[in-house]
């Protein structure tokens, strides 16, 4: 594969500090928005609006996965349950985009993540689809870096 070809979006890995069973089928990375502050100086000759950067806002990280028939599948739910019961802990999360050989190429590091929404799977006797659970996480910040073989 040429170095000029874009990486596939399907080859990624999620690591949540302190939580096992972090195999996800879908990962929606959050947006980063810098608000625009508008102001007019009183001494301006023209009625111009000046724009300056304002607050930085991060969207939520959304993770989806199929439910596995193994004991460590409950580790993610335990983290959510801790928040429900007032004992929640902030976590650091890394999302790695991998090359064809499954080596990390890019890494997104999210700080102070905590669960804001959990969706149980839709169950139906009329379907043969995989039972998917969804976890939405608030994050305080993100750092993006090139790592491993792709640098």
Q: Which CATH number do you get for residue 144?
A: 2.30.110.20
Domain of residue 124, residue span: 12-32+58-150
pLDDT value at position 21? 66
44 within a domain of the structure (yes/no): no
1 within a domain of the structure (yes/no): no
Helix (H) or strand (E) segment spanning residue 78: helix 74-84
Which DSSP category does 23 fall into?
Answer: -
Helix (H) or strand (E) segment spanning residue 77: helix 74-84
When divided into structural domains, the chain yields a total of 1
pLDDT value at position 149? 53
pLDDT value at position 1? 47
Which residues 6+ apart lie within 8 Å of 28 measured at CB?
A: 61, 62, 63
46 within a domain of the structure (yes/no): no
pLDDT value at position 96? 93
Cα separation, 151 vs 122, in Å, equals 41
pTM for this entry: 0.83
130 within a domain of the structure (yes/no): yes
51 within a domain of the structure (yes/no): no
139 within a domain of the structure (yes/no): yes
* pLDDT digit string (tens) for the chain, length 151 residues: 456 777 878 999 999 988 776 788 999 999 999 999 998 887 777 778 889 999 999 999 999 998 877 666 777 888 899 999 999 999 999 999 999 888 999 999 999 999 999 998 888 899 888 889 999 999 999 999 998 654 4
* Residue indicated by tokens 């070809």: 5
Distances, alpha carbon 116 to alpha carbons 29, 33, 67, 107, 137, in Å: 15, 19, 19, 23, 5
pLDDT value at position 150? 45
């Amino acid at each position: 594969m040429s170095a000029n070809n874009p990486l596939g979006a399907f080859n990624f890995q999620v690591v949540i500090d302190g939580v096992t069973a972090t195999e996800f089928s879908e990962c929606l990375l959050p947006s980063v928005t810098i608000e625009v502050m508008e102001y007019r100086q009183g001494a301006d000759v023209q009625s111009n609006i000046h724009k300056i950067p304002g607050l930085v806002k991060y969207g939520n990280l959304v993770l989806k996965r199929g439910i596995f028939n193994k004991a460590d599948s409950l580790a993610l739910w335990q983290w959510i349950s801790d928040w429900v019961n007032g004992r929640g802990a902030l976590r650091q999360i890394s999302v790695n985009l991998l090359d064809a050989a499954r080596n990390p190429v890019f890494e997104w590091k999210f700080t102070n993540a905590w669960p804001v929404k959990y969706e149980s799977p839709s169950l139906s006797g009329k379907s043969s689809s995989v039972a998917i659970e969804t976890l939405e996480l608030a994050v305080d910040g993100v750092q993006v870096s090139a790592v491993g073989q792709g640098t």
